[in-house]
Structure 1
Amino acid sequence: MTIEIGYDDGDIDTNRSSASPHLNDLIAARYSRRQTMRGGIGAMTTALFGFSLLAGCDDDGEDAPLAVSGGLALSATSGSPVTLSGTLPGGTTGTWVQTSGPAVTLTSNSNGIATFTAPTVAADTQLGFRLDAQAGDRTGSATTTVTVRPIALGFNAVPKSLADQLSVPAGYTATVLYRLGDPIANNVAAYANNGSDTNFAQRAGDHHDGMTYFGLADNGIPDYQTGNTRGLLVMNHENITQQYLHAGLPTPAPRPESEAIKEIEAHGVSVIEVRRGTTWSYVQGSSFNRRITPNTPMSFSGPVRGNALLRTRYSTDGTQGRGTINNCANGTMPWGTYLTNEENWAGYFRRNAGDAAVRTAAGRAKENTSLTRYGIPEGRTGNYGWTTVTPADSSSTIFSRWNATAQAGAPADGSGDFRHEPFQFGWVVEIDPFDPNSTPRKRTALGRMNHEGCEIGRTVAGVRPAFYMGDDAQNEYIYKFVSNTAWSDADAGGQGNRLALGDKYLDAGTLYVARFDANGNGTWLPIVFGQGPLTASNATYPFEDQADVLANVRIAGDLLGATRMDRPEWTAVNPQTGEMYCTLTNNSSRTPANTDAANPRAYTDPKLPQGDVVNADPPTNAQATRGNANGHIIRLREAGDRSDATTFTWDIYAFGSGADLNAQNINLSGLDATNDFSSPDGLWFGLRSNITGQATPVMWIETDDGAYTDVTNCMLLAAIPGTVGDGATRTVSNTLTTAANVTTTSQTATRIGKAPGASLKRFLVGPKECEITGIYSTPDGRSLFINVQHPGENGSPTAPSSNWPSQTPGARPRSATVVITKDDGGVVGL
């Protein structure tokens, strides 16, 4: 007879002579095996393998602990799918429960299998899980761990390219969604693309630019969190490629009315409904669809409303206006509106010789100072010659309004001509995309300039929000507007009167201009009438009131001593840290003599295909680009992380450069073939509604390049940036040789962020002669919209230099919106 020796606490019957087991025998056997397995083998296997193995059976196989395995420890990246796969005996059920770490939602949780999405983390984080199993009254359990890493860019970098195509990484699909001329109303014919098309007030405009996707619920109300398959795309149409709009080359002055009205209407903004079925498409006859053009009625709000500077023959009281033009970057307000921003509007105006004398005689000599400072000197003829049109309707002023020449004998207040029409432009314009009958409002409290964009900072309940803006011209400034009204979370979502909420936050506050100091600190200088030099006694420009200051913020910035920047363009705010990033596209007038800490480079970027030698000095090609040819991206962090702070710290996130340029003084960010770029322009962070906007958000960078186009077409890059101060100080030695072989040198100390390395990758390269611009995603981050602007802009109707997007030889190119999705349905970029 075999005697089993197990745990003995003395309270048992040792009499084995009976044929039938005593109750105590059964209890002892069961208790003995559980204790042995839990205290011995189970502890050993947990230590060695990270899970508990419960096994054993009675002589009759009943009532033994279940053999359960939790599997080996796992690792995953934030946002990726994770499967917990345990092992259970046959006929056993088992479910997983989480025991530690950030909470996740377990799905398909049965038979030892469960899935979840790895949560957003900023550093490696361990999650604990336990698999509980049961069969009748038998139970068992096992544990495992999952280590979650921060998000990473999950694609192979797209190579540089000069091909006439749009390239995206393997595993992604790019689909053309909305092109120049596409009809947005049911009664408008398809676009012929041969110059015969008309009625651009009901067609897609040209030069697609800044863009926002606003989600819609099935019932048509705003849905910013889950509206992933139906929404409104709102986008700017910055400019036109004139030669492709007409049957032949544009008619020289005097311009025919039919051509000029087409060109005017091709500017402005589109609002279109889009839906996702098998693929994305736009809804041609949607009641939401709308074109806002330079002829659309507008109203003014804020401190400049009704001021004499806004009075024209069209609006004698200075409260109304017509249209918006040269709209570049955008802004998306948390209450559900779209900000479009008037950039290079000055070029559209004509100003004849003798105008200055008429204004001086009328007692308005300082208007000459203003017009010149904003780029409208005497002698300008105006873009596209619209003022040379003689309209069929002699009462029409839609062409003559672009002539800003003061008419002798007309009222000095501007109510009898269009001398003040230039003052009606250069503003931030707010649009309610959900109400096609609403009148857009020009928000004058945010100042008048070459507005590139207007991005709201992080909103924190009880703190006054900030709105960040760049003035896109060489040596202009970075601004922010701080509302007088503290943020209320109740205003997010945009279900009520959206433009009234815009009144609340955008019509009263303080406008500031930035000064960047060499020590890495900075100051926001208030642009307020009566403070410092902004007074009526100023000799350069005697300001009359705050309205006058806001209409002339460039002059105010000059007088306050703001830092002149290398073309400030798009602004973007990291949704996690609140840090503001601004693209400084380039500056051909930057020289070694006028570099500073925030704009520290002046050099020569050679054109290799034309026979240059890299870094030759002097360059072998007189067409080489000079100054800060490749641009950079600056960032700042507000004091106390408060949007209403008046001081900040700053550094330069990354310098644009070819990978082959001098690493000591030009390629300061150590870019390589996977991420070198030039002339950053568009800039945008992923949304907080998905993982690309959480913990360590993804930043997207778009380029509008003229310096590196001998090597590659323009591009889109993805980045996971660090934070202000994560790098070091550095001294840049600048040497610049002009076309006349005049060489100047300097040394400039600056502050550079940590080299991007693999956290910056090229995601997309566009077709020939295009700009990549405009970017937004669905709330879930699984569909990314971008714009391809002016492909083939240097061609002609008979010899287009690009055929994109049709790829049919001889086809005229068209600006277009593209939607990018991941073939596995995942979040784009990860």
Structure 2
Amino acid sequence: MAKHDLDPNYLDPNYEPVVNHSDNTPFHQVLAARMQRRTVMKGSVGAALASVMGLGLAGCGSDDDDTTTTGNVASTDLGFKAVATSNANEVVVPEGYSSQAFLPWGTPLTGSYPEYKADGTNTGAEQEQQVGMHHDGVHFFPIDQKAGGNSSSEGLLVMNHEYINQRALLKHTNTIPVFDENGKQNGWTGVKDLNGKRISDDVRKEIAAHGVSVVHIKRDSEGTWDVVFGSPFNRRITGNTEMDIRGPVRGYSKLITKYSPDATETRGTLNNCAMGPTPWGTYLAAEENWHGYFKHDSLELPREQARHGVSGQSYEDDGITIKPASSRYDWELADSQEDQYIRFDVTPGTGTAKDDYRNEANTYGYMVEIDPFTPESKPQKRTALGRFGHEGVIFAPVKEGQPVVCYSGDDSRFEYIYKFVSSKPYYAATAGGYLLDEGTLYVARFNEDGTGDWLALDLDNAEFKAKVDAAVGTTVGDVAFDGFENQADVLLNTRLAADIAGATTMDRPEWGAVDPNSGQVYFTLTNNSNRGKDGYDGVNAANPNEINRTGHIIRWSEEGNDHTATGFEWDIFVFAGEQGTETVVDDQVIVSLTDDNIFNSPDGLWFDYNGRLWIQTDGSDAAPYQNNMMLAANPETREIKRFFVGPVGCEVTGVVSTPDVKTMFVNIQHPDGNWPDATDPRPRDATVIVTRDDGGVVGA
């Protein structure tokens, strides 16, 4: 998320150097091979847009036209009037709906409940007791969920805090940007002292603004939601919280650090983007662009860091070779030089791994399980799900006595989509996070004929083992491959393993969602700004512009409607773009975008409890799209309407509702223009509560 530079305040926080230099077949070539005709993008760009000549997807729809569910509405119809695009510094919702900002960054949450200070003078210790910054993925857990209930008036709202805006977070309000000799911003005056060090409490505050917030909320008799102050459930998990490493990578030598000589623990979770609620009532936070938080003083990086773009690696930026001199926020330069800060320097020392933090970056890149109903519990990094730039995770519907299945996208250009199938079966009475510690991780290959294959990343799989053996002694991308030590090494190097397996490179796979009615799986492919640049794939039928700015949404149906299957059939649900952009299936125009539903760079994705699909954007705020937005889609008819537009400069990200679908929570990240309070000199990320004025179901 937030992959474009909206403001120099962010110090390019999500810069993603393209680190996949394998020769795997890119998705655009696969899609182009399926094209049988072209349609015209009728907007001002005047480019040609490829269309899908669809294969009928077995099991993709309902058995009949009835999309009735057991929820509060009888269909997935969209009953609201679409809102127009907007460039106003406010939230826009349809007629008959209301919105309210809730839980802005800095809201008192735990401990002594320190008040937010608009002058930026809150300390690091205070930020550890307040709601974090840059709200992202979010989920509502009914307060009675563990007892089998589904309360829509009280629960735990759990949300990620992806990264920070230093200029808003710190008290140094007169900071100005500092640029290096190549013209790239590398800091702010006032953030470092004259000796080039960071003020330790500033660093503590920045680390505390990352992570996850667990907030006990309740609606009163007047319909107003508020924090249940003093609740034992209120909790902050930060970039410094102690965590366990679980699964096959636990105890592996390449995770040994001074903090954890036996490689079983680490501290903190960072750059948490999307998430995934588990079938047993816990929360999985994704670690996405964690690579930029670490400093390595050499261009010769171990493959565990190089394949992810840890900062010691040089990269190209507009034709200039850049070698970062430090990490994204320079936390390793804290003037106190405490262990909790110097760990972000992963340059090897003269001793062994037990003496330094050369392996600290290897303890990041996982899905982190948090039990919101057990405040004293320790978060668990679930390594069997792979290590990469996790955008989030989405679970297929569970079946008693069957394996657990979940999907995750690696949100970077030319990366992959993954699926995990547990070894142990699910039983509701005993289910827990242990189900995510053993199983098979697969990566997707999309074939030209509209079929697909899940390729096992498992050394016990004969096909994968043969590919690994054949690759030894060769160069895979830019990596001289000398084999994998064991399965832990495979998972630590998930991207490299996927390269070797022959997966299909994708245009930034982000959020996924599973249709509760059909079981079909959807993923957003946000964009690919390198399409057509020198050294990268050029224009093609599916991506006719040299820089693919608008993206699309892909979907597939697992073979036999069995989510554990190793085969699937796929098509494109919709191409994003301006007015007149068409998606064609079986020689018929299925979607033609209009003023009511133009959008670009689809990112967030969520099915509500009645089966409507909600699409959030993180794209260009230029005409014709204006501010980022959220749209609703009927998955059966592919009708799409714009439901929500965010304030200036923001990303609309993270959405969930109460079980009755009458209260919706939508997160707003990195707003500009002093939103939501025009009198506050600092912009504040916040959750927006959306309700129907008549108390009805949102979207119906």
TM-score, normalised via structure 2 length: 0.80
Q: Does the CA contact (< 8 Å) of 1:350 and 1:402 recur in 2? A: yes
Give the partner amino acid of 2:210: H
Q: Does the CA contact (< 8 Å) of 2:282 and 2:372 recur in 1? A: yes
User: Any gaps of 5 or more consecutive residues in structure 1?
Assistant: 1-119, 127-147, 357-366, 492-497, 605-625, 723-753, 793-801
Q: Does the CA contact (< 8 Å) of 2:674 and 2:682 recur in 1? A: yes
| Post-superposition offset of 1:196 | 1.1
Is residue 496 of structure 2 the alignment partner of residue 555 of structure 1?
Answer: yes
Q: How far apart are the structure 1 equivalents of 2:355 and 2:541?
A: 48
Is residue 144 of structure 2 the alignment partner of residue 213 of structure 1?
Answer: no
Q: How far apart are the structure 2 equivalents of 1:502 and 1:663?
A: 40
Q: Residue deviations 1:598-642, cap 9 Å, x none?
A: x953344xxxxxxxxxxxxxxxxxxxxx42210111111100111
Give the partner amino acid of 2:328: N
Q: How far apart are the structure 2 equivalents of 1:488 and 1:571?
A: 24
User: Any gaps of 5 or more consecutive residues in structure 2?
Assistant: 1-61, 176-187, 314-322, 474-479
405, 412, 425: which is aligned to 2:347?
405
Q: How far apart are the structure 2 equivalents of 1:165 and 1:717?
A: 17
259, 281, 298: which is aligned to 2:243?
298
| Post-superposition offset of 1:189 | 2.8
Q: How far apart are the structure 2 equivalents of 1:660 and 1:812?
A: 39
Q: How far apart are the structure 2 equivalents of 1:662 and 1:152?
A: 21
In the superposition, relative to structure 1, how do residues 516 and 822 fare at CA in structure 2: closer, same or farther (>3 Å)?
same
| Post-superposition offset of 1:536 | 9.7
What's the counterpart of residue 195 of structure 1? 120
Q: Residue deviations 1:522-581, cap 9 Å, x none?
A: 000000125232349722421100000000010011111100000011111111111111
Q: How does 1:530-569 map to 2 (within 5 A)?
A: 531-535=465-469, 538-539=472-473, 540-541=480-481, 542-569=483-510
In the superposition, relative to structure 1, how do residues 125 and 334 fare at CA in structure 2: closer, same or farther (>3 Å)?
closer
Give the partner amino acid of 2:446: F
Is residue 83 of structure 2 the alignment partner of residue 152 of structure 1?
Answer: no
Is residue 334 of structure 2 the alignment partner of residue 420 of structure 1?
Answer: no
| Post-superposition offset of 1:176 | 1.5
What's the counterpart of residue 231 of structure 1? 155
| Post-superposition offset of 1:124 | 6.1
What's the counterpart of residue 705 of structure 1? 619
596, 602, 607: which is aligned to 1:685?
607
What's the counterpart of residue 4 of structure 2? none
Q: How far apart are the structure 2 equivalents of 1:664 and 1:157?
A: 23
Runs ≥4 in structure 1, deviation > 4 angstroms?
592-597, 660-665, 707-710
511, 516, 519: which is aligned to 1:578?
519
Is residue 374 of structure 2 the alignment partner of residue 444 of structure 1?
Answer: no
In the superposition, relative to structure 1, how do residues 663 and 428 fare at CA in structure 2: closer, same or farther (>3 Å)?
closer
Q: Residue deviations 1:74-123, cap 9 Å, x none?
A: xxxxxxxxxxxxxxxxxxxxxxxxxxxxxxxxxxxxxxxxxxxxxx9963
Q: How far apart are the structure 2 equivalents of 1:443 and 1:331?
A: 13
183, 187, 212: which is aligned to 1:269?
212
| Post-superposition offset of 1:596 | 11
Q: Does the CA contact (< 8 Å) of 1:215 and 1:223 recur in 2? A: no
Q: Does the CA contact (< 8 Å) of 2:154 and 2:218 recur in 1? A: yes
Q: How far apart are the structure 2 equivalents of 1:273 and 1:434?
A: 10
State the SS of the aligned residue for 1:549.
helix
Q: Does the CA contact (< 8 Å) of 2:112 and 2:129 recur in 1? A: no
TM-score, normalised via structure 1 length: 0.68
Is residue 455 of structure 2 the alignment partner of residue 525 of structure 1?
Answer: yes
662, 665, 668: which is aligned to 1:785?
665
Q: Residue deviations 1:401-425, cap 9 Å, x none?
A: 1111111x211xx111111011000
Give the partner amino acid of 1:686: D
What's the counterpart of residue 415 of structure 2? 476
675, 680, 685: which is aligned to 1:804?
675
Q: Does the CA contact (< 8 Å) of 2:581 and 2:593 recur in 1? A: no
Q: Does the CA contact (< 8 Å) of 2:575 and 2:582 recur in 1? A: no
Q: Does the CA contact (< 8 Å) of 1:225 and 1:779 recur in 2? A: no
In the superposition, relative to structure 1, how do residues 318 and 229 fare at CA in structure 2: closer, same or farther (>3 Å)?
same
Q: How far apart are the structure 1 equivalents of 2:456 and 2:591?
A: 33
| Post-superposition offset of 1:200 | 1.1
| Post-superposition offset of 1:154 | 1.0
Is residue 644 of structure 2 the alignment partner of residue 644 of structure 1?
Answer: no
Q: How does 1:308-457 map to 2 (within 5 A)?
A: 308-353=253-298, 356=300, 368-376=302-310, 377-378=312-313, 379-380=323-324, 381-391=326-336, 396-407=338-349, 409-411=350-352, 414-457=353-396
Q: Residue deviations 1:749-777, cap 9 Å, x none?
A: xxxxx7x3xx2110000000000011111
Q: Residue deviations 1:477-517, cap 9 Å, x none?
A: 000000012222445xxxxxx7xx111x1000000000001
Q: How far apart are the structure 2 equivalents of 1:641 and 1:821?
A: 35
In the superposition, relative to structure 1, how do residues 223 and 309 fare at CA in structure 2: closer, same or farther (>3 Å)?
same
What's the counterpart of residue 648 of structure 2? 768
| Post-superposition offset of 1:813 | 1.1
| Post-superposition offset of 1:338 | 0.2
In the superposition, relative to structure 1, how do residues 711 and 404 fare at CA in structure 2: closer, same or farther (>3 Å)?
same
Q: How far apart are the structure 2 equivalents of 1:156 and 1:825?
A: 17
Give the partner amino acid of 1:214: F
What's the counterpart of residue 631 of structure 2? 717
Identity %: 44
Q: Does the CA contact (< 8 Å) of 1:775 and 1:784 recur in 2? A: yes
Is residue 131 of structure 2 the alignment partner of residue 204 of structure 1?
Answer: yes
Give the partner amino acid of 2:128: A
| Post-superposition offset of 1:204 | 0.6
What's the counterpart of residue 166 of structure 1? 91
Q: Does the CA contact (< 8 Å) of 1:629 and 1:707 recur in 2? A: no
Give the partner amino acid of 1:267: H
| Post-superposition offset of 1:150 | 3.5
Is residue 440 of structure 2 the alignment partner of residue 510 of structure 1?
Answer: yes
Q: How far apart are the structure 2 equivalents of 1:526 and 1:160?
A: 44
What's the counterpart of residue 799 of structure 1? none
What's the counterpart of residue 476 of structure 2? none
In the superposition, relative to structure 1, how do residues 760 and 806 fare at CA in structure 2: closer, same or farther (>3 Å)?
same
Give the partner amino acid of 1:633: I
State the SS of the aligned residue for 2:306.
helix
What's the counterpart of residue 26 of structure 1? none
Q: Residue deviations 1:153-199, cap 9 Å, x none?
A: 11000100011000101111111220100110262332122211122
What's the counterpart of residue 82 of structure 1? none
Q: Residue deviations 1:381-400, cap 9 Å, x none?
A: 11111111121xx5x21111
| Post-superposition offset of 1:226 | 2.5
**Which structure exhibits the higher relative contact order, with contacts defined as CA atoms closer than 8 Å and separated by 6 or more residues?**
2
